[in-house]
């Protein structure tokens, strides 16, 4: 099968959704040179980390001009805020930082942290993005359930045996990148969070202490505690879950009164950690481009990555 005028997008996480949303907006605004056919490939095999994410979008602890990565995170936050603050599945939350570790460092980092951040309910948000870009792309978007096994400069091979040619191909494969050996010096790192239903009112809030966030998502009255990383997981893919014996002790750190008898459940996701913890968006071969290594910041960075790739 040859689709000379097609663009191909592979993946169904936030990186692929952000890319398709940005692509569709640019077509709508006449800013993409030509409206092409887009083939969206979704794997029935590989999991989607974006659906097992606490999806907090915050710029706390970041200061402009300290590092390129920090500047990217601030730009990503501002872009997300500009377009999605009032989008379905997103709410504004109050974020409070509790003292942790060296107090001088803590004050330097978080003393001027903004109180407001954004919180997405990942499934609802991804599905709202999908509705939006489908309403723009209409019949020019073709969905295919298959898995990428190989790519070269102008051709991909899928697990079904199908080969597709393309104009441009965009990979948004998350942690499967390192499993398939598509990128160098990157790795898969598992992460977990706990969640429980609790009605704590109509306003969303976050208490942050060191690496942990206790989150109240008001839109669906859910408490989340993340990220409960498990350093023991071989190769970053969790082989046993849940393993969160320390849930109770982490909760005690927050010194907050929660309703008794909460029914905590655990979600596990696998993130893609870039070389030196840095994200990547750019060309990987011929007309093949990739967005990967978003690690702990996929929701903050995905729209910036899409915008810069399509520029
Ligand atoms: C517990 C936890 C908490 C987190 N909290 C936050 C947070 O608060 N804020 C934040 O910004 N980020 C957070 N993250 C990180 C965030 O979830 C990730 O950075 C983000 O989901 C990465 O998105 P992605 O689209 O790159 O990858 P994914 O969401 O994993 O998507 C990759 C997609 O590629 C597909 N795929 C892979 N290989 C192939 C193939 N060969 N062929 C076809 N399709 C393929 C998969 O099926 C999947 O759909 C958290 C992560 C975890 C685990």
Q: Which pLDDT tens digit goes with each residue over 162-195?
A: 999 999 999 999 999 988 888 888 999 888 899 9
Q: Is residue 1 part of a domain?
A: no
Give the residue, by CA position, lying nearest to ligand 1 atom 33: 11
Asked whether residue 302 is domain-assigned, the answer is yes
Q: What is the pTM of this model?
A: 0.95
- Whether 75 lines ligand 1, by a CB cut-off of 6 Å, is no
Contact (Cβ atoms closer than 8 angstroms) between residue 179 and residue 188: yes
The CB of 192 under 6 Å from ligand 1? The reply is yes
SS (H, E, C) the chain: CCCCCEEEEECCCHHHHHHHHHHHHHHHCCCCCCCCEEEEEECCCCCCHHHHCCCEECCCCCCCCCCHHHHHHHHHHHHHHHHHCCCCCEEEEEEEECCCCCHHHHHHHHCCCCCEEEEECHHHHHHHHHHHHHHHHHHHEEEEECCEEEECCCEEEECCCCEEECCEEEECCCCHHHHHCCCCCCEEEEEEEEEEECCCCCCEEEEEECCEEEEEEHHHCEEEEECCCCCCCHHHCCCCCCCCCCHHHHHHHCCCCCCCCCCCEEEEEEEEECHHHCCEEEEEECCEEEEECEHHHHHHHHHHHHHHHHC
Compute the distance from residue 296 Cα to the ligand 1 centre, in Å: 9
Which residue, judged by its Cα, is nearest atom 21 of ligand 1? Answer: 50
pLDDT of residue 240: 47
Q: Which residues contact 94 (CB under 8 A, 6 or more apart)?
A: 115, 116, 203, 204, 205, 206
Testing ligand 1's pocket by substitution, the residue of 164, 193, 247, 269 carrying the most ligand atoms inside 8 A of its CB is 269
In 3D, which of 244, 307, 247, 236 has the Cα closest to residue 273?
236
Q: Is residue 291 part of a domain?
A: yes
> For residue 251, what pLDDT is reported?
86
Question: How many domains is the chain built from?
Answer: 1
Assess if residue 249 is contained within a domain. yes
Model confidence pLDDT, tens digit, residues 88-99: 999 999 999 999
For tokens 């965009």, name the residue: 170
What's the 173 CA to ligand 1 centre distance in angstroms? Answer: 8
Contact 280, 58 (CB under 8 A): no
Indicate whether residue 296 lines ligand 1 (CB < 6 A).
Answer: yes
pLDDT averaged over the chain?
A: 91
For ligand 1, the distance from its centroid to the CA atom of residue 66, given in whole angstroms, is 27
The reply to whether 45 falls in a domain is yes
Q: How far is the CA of 57 from the centre of ligand 1 (A)?
A: 15
pLDDT tens track, the chain, 311 positions:
444 479 999 999 999 999 999 999 999 999 887 667 999 999 999 999 999 999 999 999 999 999 999 999 999 999 999 999 999 999 999 999 999 999 999 999 998 888 899 999 999 999 999 999 999 999 999 999 999 999 999 999 999 999 999 999 999 999 999 888 888 889 998 888 999 999 999 999 999 998 889 999 999 999 999 887 656 555 555 544 445 456 777 888 888 899 999 998 888 899 999 999 999 999 999 999 999 999 999 999 999 999 999 98
- Does residue 245 fall inside a structural domain? yes
298 Cβ below 6 A of ligand 1 = yes
Task: Note whether residue 104 is domain-resident.
Answer: yes
User: 270 alpha carbon to ligand 1 midpoint, in Å?
Assistant: 7
Q: In what order do the strands lie in the sheet with 265-273?
A: 56-57, 116-120, 90-97, 204-209, 212-217, 222-226, 187-197, 265-273
Contact 292, 272 (CB under 8 A): yes
Bond prior to 227 in cis (omega within 30° of 0): yes
257 CA from centroid of ligand 1 (Å): 32
Q: Whose CA is nearest to atom 19 of ligand 1?
A: 298
- Does 192 fall in a domain? yes
CATH of the domain at 299: 3.50.50.60
Q: Is the CB of 137 under 6 A from ligand 1?
A: no
Nearest atom of ligand 1 to the alpha carbon of 269: 53
Atom of ligand 1 nearest to the CA of 297: 11
Q: Which atom of ligand 1 is nearest to the CA of 295?
A: 19
- Write down the pLDDT at residue 268: 86
Which range marks the domain in which residue 99 is found? Answer: 6-310
What is the Cα–Cα distance from 143 to 2, expressed in whole angstroms? 16
| Predicted pLDDT of residue 190 | 85
């Amino acid at each position: 099968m040859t689709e000379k005028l097609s663009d191909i997008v592979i993946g169904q996480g936030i990186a692929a959704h952000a890319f398709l949303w940005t692509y569709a907006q640019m077509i709508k605004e006449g800013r993409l040179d030509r409206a092409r056919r887009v083939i969206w490939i979704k794997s029935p095999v590989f999991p989607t980390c974006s659906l097992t994410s606490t999806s907090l979008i915050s710029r706390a602890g970041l200061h402009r001009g300290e590092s390129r990565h920090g500047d990217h995170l601030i730009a990503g936050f501002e872009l997300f805020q500009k377009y999605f603050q009032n989008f379905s599945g997103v709410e504004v939350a109050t974020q409070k930082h509790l003292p942790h570790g060296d107090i001088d460092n803590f004050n330097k980092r978080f003393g001027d942290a903004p109180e407001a951040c954004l919180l997405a309910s990942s499934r609802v948000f991804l599905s709202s993005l999908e509705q939006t870009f489908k309403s723009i792309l209409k019949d020019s978007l073709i969905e295919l359930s298959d898995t990428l096994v190989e790519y070269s400069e102008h051709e991909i091979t899928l697990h079904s045996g199908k080969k597709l040619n393309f104009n441009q191909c965009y990979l948004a494969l998350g942690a499967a990148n390192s499993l398939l050996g598509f990128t160098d010096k990157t790795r898969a790192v598992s992460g977990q969070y706990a969640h429980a239903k609790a009605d704590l009112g109509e306003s969303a809030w976050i208490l942050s202490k060191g690496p942990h966030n206790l989150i109240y998502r008001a839109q669906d009255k859910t408490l989340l505690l993340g990220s409960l990383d498990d350093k023991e997981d071989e190769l970053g893919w969790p082989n046993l879950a849940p393993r969160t014996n320390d849930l109770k002790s982490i909760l005690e750190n927050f010194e907050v009164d929660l309703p008794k008898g909460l029914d905590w459940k655990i979600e596990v996701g696998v993130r893609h950690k870039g070389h030196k913890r840095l994200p990547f968006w750019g060309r990987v071969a011929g007309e093949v481009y990739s967005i990967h290594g978003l690690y702990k910041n996929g929701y903050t960075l995905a729209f910036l990555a899409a915008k810069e790739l399509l520029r």
